[in-house]
């Protein structure tokens, strides 16, 4: 059980350890694994939720406004097509 726990960088809890042990032919219950982990003070590290960072650390500026440079007389139907990608 300890080997399975440390081989997986302390990410495996009782359910994953039980699944890994059952694949290797060892039959053991989750409650017993939980008790053994508690006795040895082993706790699975839970992954943190992804937080998108909104700050711009690279100093990238916005794209130039190319539509403002085009004169209104030069515009014709379907000459300029604009699209948007929303995340």
Q: What are the tens digits of pLDDT across the range 24-60? A: 999 999 999 999 999 999 999 988 888 887 776 676 7
C-alpha atoms less than 13 angstroms from C-alpha of 41 in its C-beta half-sphere = 0
Q: Which residue has the tokens 């890994």?
A: 20
Sequence-separated (6 or more) residues with CB below 8 Å from residue 47: 11
Q: For residue 81, name the pLDDT band (cuts at 50, 70, 90).
A: confident
**Whole-number percent of the chain with pLDDT over 70:** 87
pTM: 0.55
Could you tell me which of 71, 59, 60, 67 has the C-alpha nearest to residue 84?
67
Chain centroid to Cα 50, Å, comes to 5
What region, left, alpha or beta, does residue 54 occupy, with left being phi > 0 and alpha being psi -120 to 50 degrees? alpha
């Amino acid at each position: 059980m300890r080997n399975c726990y440390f081989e997986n960088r302390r990410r495996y809890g009782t359910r994953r350890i039980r699944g890994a042990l059952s694949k290797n032919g060892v039959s053991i219950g989750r409650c017993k694994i939980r008790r053994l982990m508690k006795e040895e003070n082993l706790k699975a590290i839970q992954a943190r939720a992804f937080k998108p960072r909104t700050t711009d650390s690279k100093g990238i500026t916005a794209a130039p406004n190319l539509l403002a440079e085009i004169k209104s007389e030069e515009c014709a139907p379907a000459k300029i097509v604009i699209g948007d990608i929303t995340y």
